[in-house]
């Protein structure tokens, strides 16, 4: 049970950030990259060791649960006896799982970036920021309390901002980074208010309210506090996890380098909101099940909306971004549909005795599998962009001949996200659908439909990239250069991630690997079994979606799709423009907030507050300018003043 | 017997002549000469008040004596400075050292 | 009576020389008139029976300081100082005159408002004996001045050194 080494997991990336950030410019690209990658390799090894130790060697304690281990926890700020802000390292099943996810993807991205960022200006800065991000994200998941989580939450926001704006000479990158930062920061405001509510009324920052029964009476009297605090915290999570209507920053965040998109905006940071809800899950179940269900409704709508938009995007990274939003929606739906203490629905067999935990397990499972295959998809997209030097699908097509490895790994990931058996997405998505059907058949049907859409748009993407007519071949005469397979540093991470996807899928489908054994809502392990009524339907639906995509997009021309776009131009245009959500936000911020609130405040600031200080400064300056000539350096003038003063004083004394 | 008021009036006139000279003259040495006039006016007062009002003491006497010594020292240093100023600015007008003021 | 006549003569000499000293445009003449003023003041000391003081005034002021001025004037420049014709600015003269008159009026006011307390009427016209002066100057009792005497000697030394340092010609670099 000795976990004293774990501080290294946070310290190494932090040190690497400091070294690269301070001395990076003095190093060559290779050295800087190696420092970042090696420190992360060590961190990855430590994370895996921790996971093996936690799950397999130490295992469950006497009560049959995985214990919550606090490796260290030191007090930073002490507000009161209970309300103490500590910084620590907490191991729970989900935090250990997140350690695996973050370290794996981050390590893969570090390796991948060697190839992708090769020769880029600011290579060292890039690795420094990656280290900072990894440190913050690891700190976030191992937080011992909500406040520490908030601290690291802001740190990941900053590193995300820095990495999105990595190509800062580009105006669009700067705008995107600002947008991401402001939108998530706006949501974080609610998070902070939620934390303040929670800590004020409950008197602790801890997640484990169940461990402190004496605190329950603090909230017993005021019923509205806990649901409100929890929902406010969820708004913070919704900002980071790009839930509707705060999702607008994520598609723009694709301006950053593609490995960054894979790491931050697909696998780790954007699921922070999911992780937050999962961490607060016991509180949600106990105090605010309605809030949990509202989360599910919001998430379902987001999933649908994002899937619809993803069907019409032409920028491949945008498609993946919307797909990410949609999949995070799936995870939050899974968490949201958990019912407290009921065993109802379509499947109340013994394995699902604790049926409310199924959604939790499924959500976490999906988080895990999604991180792997979506990172693989993004990195694959990075290879493609690297090869054709564009994000737009019109420059692609027919790439399967030129980029075989990318093609195969991309296909595996697409199959996984579509939910085909023997691929990891199948196992997790199927559990989510079961949980949804348990909650309500309507929700189940909706989510099945979205899953079908997922299969459709992912394969649309797959076909327009790898099939169809090749831009290179049709534009050879105009000097289009030949796409080529990415270097080894870029393909190896793809292979590793798709291998994980495959292995988890095969073993998961065959019930060799049971995610529920490790992560579940109440800590009691359980095995899943595939409900073929649901799994079969969803598989059939996924295959239908794939077939539709094949029919519409596989060929050299895409007559059906073009015809549909012509037939419903408004709908197509609306979906392409993301249903004008950005315009709505622009209207709200620019026309309403800026004009009605900011402008008067700015006026007040400029004229009244600044005016006061400007007047004081002007007064001091004017006084100085007035007195200055007196200091003339003319001795005779001083003598005159001296005599005048003496005479005046004498006269005054005479008169008294 | 000369009344002390006579000395007093004489010294006051001498003092203000010196002040007038100090204010109006622009030459550094002329200003120094005016200062000497002022000092002498004060010395006369010291000596006369001592002699005519407090004849048993010698305080004014010694004050005058020391004042003479001090003014000798002051003149020496002042003339050294004036020579230096002249050497640096090639002028001995007061205005020339005004740009030393800041 | 003889004293009064003597005083009047000395007063005329002093004031006349002083006025000429500050009004003259030639610096050499100013120095010369200063010499007359200093000699006149020495005469006043003699009149007050402070013979020693008068002697000191003549030897230090008239003999030493004035000579120093003249030397300085001669040394500095022929062109600037000896033949110097100063242009007195009318406005400045007016201003100095006003200050002077106001100051004099103030002093007159002080004089008219106060009375001097005479106790010296009985004092004989006798010279202060040299022995008294010497004892007071070098004694360390009450009303004796050895400490200021020593101070002023150190002070003079400091000023001599200071004068040399300040006036020393900088070595050409």
**Interface list for C 83-102 with A (CB within 8 A):** 95, 99, 102
When scoring A636, A638, A641, A646 by the number of chain B Cβ atoms within 10 A, the one with the most, hence best to mutate, is A636
Q: Using the CB atoms, write b or e for A623-648: b if 16+ within 10 Å.
A: eeeeeeeeeeeeebbebbeebeeebe
To the nearest whole percent, how much of chain B has pLDDT over 90? 29
- Model confidence at A192, in pLDDT bands (50, 70, 90)? very high
DSSP code of A513?
S
Q: Distance, in angstroms, between C106 CA and closest chain A CA?
A: 7
Q: Residue A50: is the preceding peptide bond cis (ω within 30°)?
A: no
Rounded to an integer, the average pLDDT of B5-25 is 90
Query: Considering CB atoms only, which of C103, C109, C113 is closest to A643?
Result: C103
Residue C28 CB burial class (10 angstroms; 0-12, 13-18, ≥19):
middle
Element (H, E) at A123: helix A123-141
Using CA coordinates, name the residue in chain B closest to A639.
Answer: B23
Rounded to an integer, the average pLDDT of B35-54 is 90
When scoring B15, B71, B73 by the number of chain C Cβ atoms within 10 A, the one with the most, hence best to mutate, is B73
What CATH code is carried by the domain that includes residue B9? Answer: 1.10.287.3510
Res. A340: pLDDT tops 70? no
Summarised one tens digit per residue, pLDDT across range C124-142 is 567 778 888 888 888 888 8
**Interface list for B 67-96 with C (CB within 8 A):** 68-77, 79-84, 86-87, 91-92
Are C102 and C172 members of one domain?
A: no
Q: According to the model, what pLDDT value does residue A1 have?
A: 55
Q: Helices (DSSP H) in chain C: which residue ranges?
A: 2-23, 27-47, 51-56, 66-76, 90-113, 130-138, 146-167
Chain A contact for C113, CB < 8 A?
yes
Q: Across the strands, what pairs with A87?
A: A74
Phi and psi dihedrals of A69, rounded to 5? -100, 125
To the nearest whole percent, how much of chain A has pLDDT over 70? 92
Between CA A311 and CA A305 the distance in angstroms is 10
Q: According to the model, what pLDDT value does residue A220 have?
A: 67
When scoring C14, C73, C117 by the number of chain B Cβ atoms within 10 A, the one with the most, hence best to mutate, is C14
Q: According to the model, what pLDDT value does residue B36 have?
A: 92
Q: Distance, in angstroms, between B69 CA and closest chain A CA?
A: 23
Phi and psi dihedrals of A522, rounded to 5? -100, 5
SS3 A243: coil
Measured in whole angstroms, the distance separating CA A594 from the mean position of its chain's CA atoms is 28
Q: Cβ C106–A651 below 8 Å, yes or no? A: yes
Q: How many other CB atoms sit within 10 Å of the CB of residue B61?
A: 24
Res. B79: pLDDT tops 80? yes
Q: Cβ C110–A643 below 8 Å, yes or no? A: no
Query: Considering CB atoms only, which of C99, C109, C113 is closest to A644?
Result: C99
Q: Distance, in angstroms, between A643 CA and closest chain B CA?
A: 9
Res. C9: pLDDT tops 90? yes
Phi-psi category of residue A580: left, alpha or beta, with phi > 0 → left and psi -120 to 50 → alpha = left
Q: Cβ A633–B22 below 8 Å, yes or no? A: no
Rounded to an integer, the average pLDDT of A435-450 is 84
**Interface list for A 604-643 with B (CB within 8 A):** 631-636, 639-640, 643
Chain B contact for C61, CB < 8 A?
yes
Are C123 and C56 members of one domain?
A: no
Tokens at A521, concatenated: 């809502």
Phi-psi category of residue A328: left, alpha or beta, with phi > 0 → left and psi -120 to 50 → alpha = alpha
Using CA coordinates, name the residue in chain A closest to B95.
Answer: A634
Using CA coordinates, name the residue in chain B closest to A641.
Answer: B23
Between CA A576 and CA A365 the distance in angstroms is 31
Q: Where are the domains of chain A?
A: 4-213+226-576, 584-655
Q: Which of A98-102, A464-468, A516-520, C10-14 has the lowest mean pLDDT?
A: A516-520
- Stronger pLDDT, A624 or A393, i.e. the higher one: A624
Using CA coordinates, name the residue in chain A closest to B35.
Answer: A639
Q: According to the model, what pLDDT value does residue B67 have?
A: 92
Number of cross-chain residue pairs from A and B with Cβ atoms under 8 Å apart: 23
Res. C14: pLDDT tops 90? yes
Q: Cβ B101–A643 below 8 Å, yes or no? A: no
Chain A contact for B39, CB < 8 A?
no
Q: According to the model, what pLDDT value does residue A346 have?
A: 41
Using CA coordinates, name the residue in chain A closest to C111.
Answer: A654
Answer whether A205's CB lies under 8 Å from A146's CB.
Answer: yes
Res. B2: pLDDT tops 70? yes
Are C42 and C3 members of one domain?
A: yes
- Model confidence at B102, in pLDDT bands (50, 70, 90)? very low
| A-chain residues near C95 (CB < 8 A) | 640
- Model confidence at C7, in pLDDT bands (50, 70, 90)? very high
Using CA coordinates, name the residue in chain C closest to A647.
Answer: C103
Q: According to the model, what pLDDT value does residue A437 have?
A: 82
Phi and psi dihedrals of A91, rounded to 5? -110, 115
- Stronger pLDDT, A412 or A528, i.e. the higher one: A412
Residue A206 CB burial class (10 angstroms; 0-12, 13-18, ≥19):
buried
DSSP code of A597?
I
Q: According to the model, what pLDDT value does residue A349 have?
A: 40
DSSP code of B27?
B
Chain A contact for C162, CB < 8 A?
no
Summarised one tens digit per residue, pLDDT across range A583-617 is 787 788 777 877 888 888 888 988 899 999 999 99
Chain B contact for C98, CB < 8 A?
no
Query: Considering CB atoms only, which of C95, C102, C113 is closest to A647?
Result: C102
| A-chain residues near C106 (CB < 8 A) | 647, 650-651, 654
Q: Cβ A654–C113 below 8 Å, yes or no? A: yes
Q: Cβ C103–A654 below 8 Å, yes or no? A: no
Q: Cβ C72–B83 below 8 Å, yes or no? A: yes
- Per the domain annotation, does B101 fall within a domain? no
| A-chain residues near B97 (CB < 8 A) | 633
Q: Cβ B98–A633 below 8 Å, yes or no? A: yes
Summarised one tens digit per residue, pLDDT across range A547-592 is 888 888 777 677 777 777 777 777 777 777 777 777 787 788 777 8
- Stronger pLDDT, C85 or A409, i.e. the higher one: A409
Tokens at A613, concatenated: 């200080």
| A-chain residues near C114 (CB < 8 A) | none
Evaluate the CA torsion angle A650, A655, A656, B3 in order and state its sign: positive
- Model confidence at A533, in pLDDT bands (50, 70, 90)? confident
Q: Distance, in angstroms, between C93 CA and closest chain A CA?
A: 12
DSSP code of A527?
-
Tokens at C160, concatenated: 């001599």
Between CA A630 and CA A407 the distance in angstroms is 84
Q: Cβ C110–A647 below 8 Å, yes or no? A: no
Chain B contact for A350, CB < 8 A?
no
Q: Cβ C64–B2 below 8 Å, yes or no? A: no
Between CA A550 and CA A555 the distance in angstroms is 8
| B-chain residues near A643 (CB < 8 A) | 19
Query: Nearest Cα to A445, choosing from A561, A534, A359?
Result: A534
> What ipTM was reported for this prediction?
0.87
Between CA A130 and CA A134 the distance in angstroms is 6
Q: Show the domain range for B80.
A: 4-92
To the nearest whole percent, how much of chain A has pLDDT over 90? 5
Which DSSP string corresponds to A475-488? TGGGTPPPP-PPPH
Between CA B70 and CA A534 the distance in angstroms is 115
Average pLDDT for chain A: 82
Q: According to the model, what pLDDT value does residue A347 have?
A: 42
Summarised one tens digit per residue, pLDDT across range A128-143 is 898 999 999 998 988 8
Give the 3-state DSSP-derived string for A51-105, with helices as H, strands as E and coil as C: HHHHHHHHCCCCCCCCCCEEEEEEEEEECCCCCEEEEEEEECHHHHHHHHHHHHH
Q: Cβ A650–C95 below 8 Å, yes or no? A: no
Q: Show the domain range for C53.
A: 1-81
Res. A119: pLDDT tops 60? yes
- Stronger pLDDT, A420 or B18, i.e. the higher one: B18
| B-chain residues near A640 (CB < 8 A) | 23
Res. C117: pLDDT tops 90? no
Rounded to an integer, the average pLDDT of A156-162 is 90
Q: Cβ B37–C37 below 8 Å, yes or no? A: yes
Query: Nearest Cα to A260, choosing from A366, A180, A152?
Result: A180
| Half-sphere exposure for A570 (CA within 13 Å, toward CB) | 0
Rounded to an integer, the average pLDDT of A487-511 is 85
Q: According to the model, what pLDDT value does residue A505 have?
A: 85
Please give the C-alpha separations between residue A218 and each of A201, A222, A283, A287, A405, in angstroms, as whole numbers. 6, 8, 14, 13, 59
DSSP code of A455?
H
Res. B99: pLDDT tops 70? no
**Count of structural domains, chain B:** 1
Phi-psi category of residue A389: left, alpha or beta, with phi > 0 → left and psi -120 to 50 → alpha = left
Q: Which of A478-492, A555-569, B9-23 has the lowest mean pLDDT?
A: A555-569
Q: Cβ B68–C60 below 8 Å, yes or no? A: yes
Summarised one tens digit per residue, pLDDT across range A240-258 is 888 887 888 888 888 888 8
Q: Which chains touch B (3 or more CB pairs under 8 A)?
A: A, C
| A-chain residues near C113 (CB < 8 A) | 654
């Amino acid at each position: 049970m000795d976990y004293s080494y774990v501080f290294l997991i946070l310290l190494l990336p932090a040190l690497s950030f400091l070294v690269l950030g301070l001395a990076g410019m003095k190093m060559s690209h290779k050295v800087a990259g190696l420092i970042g990658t090696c420190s992360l390799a060590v961190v990855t090894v430590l994370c895996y060791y921790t996971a093996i130790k936690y799950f397999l060697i130490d295992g469950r304690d006497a009560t049959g649960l995985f214990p919550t281990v606090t490796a260290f926890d030191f007090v930073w700020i002490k507000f009161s006896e209970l309300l103490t802000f500590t910084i620590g390292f907490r191991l729970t099943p989900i935090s250990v799982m997140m350690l695996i996810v973050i370290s794996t993807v981050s390590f893969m991205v570090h390796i991948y970036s060697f190839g992708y960022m090769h020769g880029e200006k600011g290579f060292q800065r890039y690795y420094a920021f990656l280290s900072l991000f990894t440190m913050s994200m690891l700190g976030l998941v191992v937080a011992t309390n909500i406040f520490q989580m908030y601290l690291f939450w802001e740190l990941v926001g900053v590193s995300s901002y820095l990495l999105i704006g990595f190509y800062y000479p580009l105006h669009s990158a700067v705008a995107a980074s600002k947008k991401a930062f402001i939108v998530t920061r706006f949501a974080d405001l609610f998070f902070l208010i939620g934390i303040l509510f929670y800590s004020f009324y409950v008197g602790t920052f801890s997640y484990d309210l169940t461990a402190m029964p004496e605190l329950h009476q603090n909230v017993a009297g005021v019923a509205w506090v806990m649901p409100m605090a929890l929902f406010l915290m969820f708004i913070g999570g919704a900002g980071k996890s790009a839930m509707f209507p705060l999702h607008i920053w994520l598609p723009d965040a694709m301006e950053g380098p593609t490995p960054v998109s894979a790491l931050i905006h697909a696998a780790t940071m954007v699921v922070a909101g999911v992780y937050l809800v999962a961490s607060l899950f016991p509180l949600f179940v106990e105090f605010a099940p309605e809030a949990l269900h509202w989360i599910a409704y919001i998430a379902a709508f987001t999933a649908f909306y994002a899937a619809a938009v993803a069907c019409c995007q032409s920028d491949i990274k945008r498609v993946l971004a919307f797909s990410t939003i949609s999949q995070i929606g799936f995870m939050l739906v899974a968490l949201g549909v958990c019912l407290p203490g009921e065993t109802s629905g379509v499947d109340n067999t013994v394995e699902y005795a604790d049926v409310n935990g199924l959604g939790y397990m499924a959500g976490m499972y999906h988080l895990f599998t999604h991180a792997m295959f979506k990172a693989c998809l993004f990195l694959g997209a990075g290879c493609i962009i690297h090869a054709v030097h564009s994000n737009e699908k019109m420059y692609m097509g027919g790439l399967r001949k030129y980029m075989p490895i990318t093609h195969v790994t991309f296909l595996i990931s697409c199959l996984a996200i579509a939910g085909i058996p023997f691929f990891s997405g199948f196992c997790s998505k199927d559990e989510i659908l079961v949980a949804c059907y348990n909650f309500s058949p309507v929700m189940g049907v909706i989510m099945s439909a979205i899953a079908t859409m997922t299969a459709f748009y992912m394969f649309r993407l797959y076909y327009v990239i790898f099939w169809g007519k090749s831009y290179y071949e049709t534009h050879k005469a105009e000097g289009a250069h030949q796409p080529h397979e990415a270097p080894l540093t870029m393909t190896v991470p793809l292979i590793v991630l798709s291998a994980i996807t495959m292995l988890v899928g095969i073993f998961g489908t065959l019930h060799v690997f049971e995610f529920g054994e490790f992560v579940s809502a109440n800590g009691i392990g359980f095995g899943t079994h595939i409900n073929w009524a649901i799994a079969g339907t969803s598989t059939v639906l996924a295959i239908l979606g794939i077939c539709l995509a094949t029919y519409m997009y596989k060929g050299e021309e895409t007559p059906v799709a073009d015809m549909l776009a012509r037939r419903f131009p408004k709908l197509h245009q609306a979906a392409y423009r993301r249903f004008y959500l950005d315009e709505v936000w622009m209207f709200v911020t620019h026309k309403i907030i800026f004009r009605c609130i900011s402008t008067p405040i700015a006026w007040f600031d400029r004229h009244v507050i600044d005016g006061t200080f400007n007047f004081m400064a002007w007064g001091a300056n004017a006084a100085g300018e007035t007195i200055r000539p007196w200091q003339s350096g003319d001795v005779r003038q001083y003598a005159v003043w001296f005599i005048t003063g003496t005479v005046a004083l004498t006269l005054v004394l005479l008169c008294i | 017997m000369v009344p002390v008021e006579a000395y007093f009036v004489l010294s006051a006139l001498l003092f203000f002549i010196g002040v007038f000279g100090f204010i109006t003259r622009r030459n550094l040495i002329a200003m120094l000469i005016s200062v000497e006039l002022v000092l002498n006016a004060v010395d006369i007062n010291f000596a006369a008040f001592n002699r005519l009002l407090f004849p048993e003491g010698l305080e004014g006497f010694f004050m005058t004596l020391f004042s003479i010594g001090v003014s000798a020292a002051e003149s020496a240093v002042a003339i050294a400075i004036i020579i230096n100023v002249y050497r640096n600015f090639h002028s001995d007008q007061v205005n020339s050292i005004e740009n030393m003021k800041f | 009576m003889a004293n009064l006549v003597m005083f009047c003569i000395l007063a005329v000499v002093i004031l006349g020389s002083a006025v000429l000293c500050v009004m003259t445009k030639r610096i050499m003449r100013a120095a010369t008139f200063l010499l007359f003023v200093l000699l006149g003041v020495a005469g006043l000391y003699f009149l007050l029976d402070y013979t020693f003081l008068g002697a000191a005034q003549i030897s230090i002021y008239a003999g030493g300081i004035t000579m120093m001025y003249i030397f300085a004037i001669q040394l500095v420049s022929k062109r600037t100082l000896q033949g110097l014709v100063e242009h007195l600015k009318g406005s400045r003269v007016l201003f100095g005159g006003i200050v002077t008159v106001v100051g004099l009026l103030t002093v007159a006011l002080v004089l008219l408002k106060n009375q001097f307390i005479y106790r010296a009427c009985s004092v004989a016209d006798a010279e202060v004996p040299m022995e008294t002066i010497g004892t007071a100057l070098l004694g360390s009792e009450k009303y004796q001045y050895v400490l200021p005497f020593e101070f002023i000697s150190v002070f003079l030394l400091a000023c001599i050194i200071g004068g040399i340092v300040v006036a020393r010609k900088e070595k050409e670099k």
